[in-house]
Structure 1
Amino acid sequence: MENIFYNDWSTVGVTAAKGVLIYIALIAMLRISGKRSLSKFNIFDFVITIAIGSIFASTLTSNDVKLAQAVTAIVVLLGGQYLISKLALRSESFEKLVKSDPALLFYSGGFNDETMKNERVTRREVLQAVRGSGSASMNDVTAVILETDGTISVIGAAEDTAPPKRNELFDSVKRNPEA
């Protein structure tokens, strides 16, 4: 009967050595690429993270994937992430292409049910975010926004009850699902 735990000790040793080396290489590359690679994820960052994890796992479990191939693939992915984030900084239209807009879930006493439906966010999730922000009541809240990275931001009610005519915090926020 074939041994299901290992082929031989040299295979186990090679896997362990590759694991240590790819781990060290990945840590070094993530340090070089900066905090952006470790941030809360927008869609593009999420895809990069999944791809890097897949490369890491394939390197550990397959004799067909060599260490140099794995490191090269990770460098290409992180380089692509760097390039896309730089292009997004330089071009607003490119940024809109690769990132979603924040969405207004609650504003001035009312839930935006249509946006919540489109974004698949429930009232319970909004209320959880409000409680997490330290607010005791929805009366303490001016707005709740689903951010591009999937987090929910809560903006407390200001002492001054008259909102400003223009507020840069809300400029890029999608107010209704058709927009």
Structure 2
Amino acid sequence: MNWIYNSADPLLVTLASCLGVFISIIIATRLIGLRSFANFSAYDFVLTLAIGSITASVLTTAITLTHGSVAIFGLMLLTYIFSILQRRSGFFDSLVSNKPLLLMDASEILYDNLKKARIQEKQLITKLREANVYNFDQVLAVVLETTGDITVLHKSSASKDLHLDEEILRDVSRK
């Protein structure tokens, strides 16, 4: 495809690169799986950023479509290998993945965990409002997930006797 870079209008090169990168990402995703773009761990997040950067570089012709496609396939293959290693080795999983962290246990805010996660109380309160929590008594648990998302597990005001199955919080760090 180097003949495109040498003889074509820069806009045509960009359009051809768009098509090439798009097709490369689709093929790689079909071969390796959608997990490549899910933010389960730090390396998944890095992969997403790196692919975005590579795509931008290809589209602005800083690198060739061939090099960009090889880089994307290589990164996605590494993600696939890392996911296998994570599944097979608890030690490896603990090296590359954060553990979910409990931020609220029922109506109790765990201030030490907020500090550890570098989350301000007002940010926690914002997440409670976004989850339609009207008072602290509705909260069953609030968890900072491995992806950086905050999950609010709560009951509606109509379901007063609802309890949280401990299995839901099995791998969540309480300290």
TM-score by length of 2: 0.82
Alignment match, 1:86: 84
Alignment match, 1:73: 71
Amino acid at match of 1:174: S
Q: How far has the Cα of 1:112 moved from its partner? A: 1.0
Alignment match, 2:53: 54
Q: How far has the Cα of 1:87 moved from its partner? A: 1.2
Residue 108 of structure 2: which of 101, 107, 110 is its match? 110
Provide the rounded CA distance (Å) in 1 between the counterparts of 2:47 and 2:39.
12
1:1-179 mapped onto 2 (5 Å cutoff): 10-40=9-39, 42-62=41-61, 65-156=63-154, 159=161, 167-176=166-175
Task: Check conservation: 1:101, 1:147, Cα contact below 8 A.
Answer: yes
Over the aligned positions, Cα root-mean-square deviation in angstroms equals 2.3
Provide the rounded CA distance (Å) in 1 between the counterparts of 2:161 and 2:51.
47
Task: Check conservation: 1:41, 1:150, Cα contact below 8 A.
Answer: no
Where does the alignment leave 5 or more consecutive residues of structure 1 unmatched? 1-7
Identity in percent: 32
Provide the rounded CA distance (Å) in 1 between the counterparts of 2:106 and 2:61.
56
Provide the rounded CA distance (Å) in 2 between the counterparts of 1:34 and 1:130.
33
Aligned residue-pair number? 165
Alignment match, 1:5: none
Task: Check conservation: 1:25, 1:71, Cα contact below 8 A.
Answer: yes
